[in-house]
């Protein structure tokens, strides 16, 4: 059973066909079976997140989902700044990093879709004034946005 409705899939596919012209890698960090978890299950929300990302990545041939085991590939996770799971890092034409922690559902789902488009283009829809202000920064900046379902 699909997580994203057929109607929404069609809308997203049309958006991706028009806007995602460069490849985007969806590097997904999860955890496979562990003695600490119920056999056959991933971490809490990891299965739902993986299934959602499989659906989304299937909507464009420009999107490439790569699934990484958080424990088995700990060095890669550390290099990517991934300290918790489920986690997703978008890689594309953009020079910065966009990461999602937790399930990108609800309001975060539209942010995921917009972020994929932005990463593919290598630019955002920030105003010229905001871009000019950001260009004055001389040190790297780490921005985190926390979202709750309430």
Q: Are strands 24-30 and 87-91 parallel, antiparallel or unpaired?
A: antiparallel
The encoded tokens of residue 22 equal 């460069």
The encoded tokens of residue 83 equal 């300290």
Work out the percent of the chain whose per-residue pLDDT is above 90.
59
Q: Point out the residues of the chain with pLDDT beneath 70.
A: 33-42, 147-150
For 88, the 3-state DSSP assignment is strand
User: Sign of the CA dihedral 35, 41, 47, 50?
Assistant: positive
Q: Are strands 24-30 and 63-69 parallel, antiparallel or unpaired?
A: parallel
Question: Which tens digit of pLDDT belongs to each residue from 118-149?
Answer: 999 988 888 999 989 988 999 988 877 776 65
pLDDT of residue 147: 67
| Dist. CA 3–CA 7, nearest whole Å | 12
pLDDT of residue 43: 78
In order of their start, the domains of the chain are 6-135 (3.40.30.10)
């Amino acid at each position: 059973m699909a997580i994203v409705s057929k109607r929404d899939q069609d809308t997203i596919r049309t958006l991706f066909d028009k806007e995602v012209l460069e490849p985007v890698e969806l590097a997904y960090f999860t955890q496979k079976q562990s003695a600490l978890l119920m056999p056959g299950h991933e971490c809490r929300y990891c299965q739902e997140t993986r299934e959602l990302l499989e659906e989304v990545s299937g909507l464009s041939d420009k999107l490439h989902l790569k699934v990484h085991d958080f424990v088995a590939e700990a060095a890669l996770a550390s290099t990517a700044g991934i300290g918790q799971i489920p986690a997703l890092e978008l890689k594309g034409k953009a020079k910065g990093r966009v990461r999602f922690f937790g399930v990108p559902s609800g309001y975060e789902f539209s942010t995921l879709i917009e972020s994929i488009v932005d990463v593919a283009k290598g630019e955002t829809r920030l105003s010229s004034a905001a871009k000019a202000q950001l260009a004055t920064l001389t040190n790297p900046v780490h921005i985190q946005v926390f979202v709750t379902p309430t």
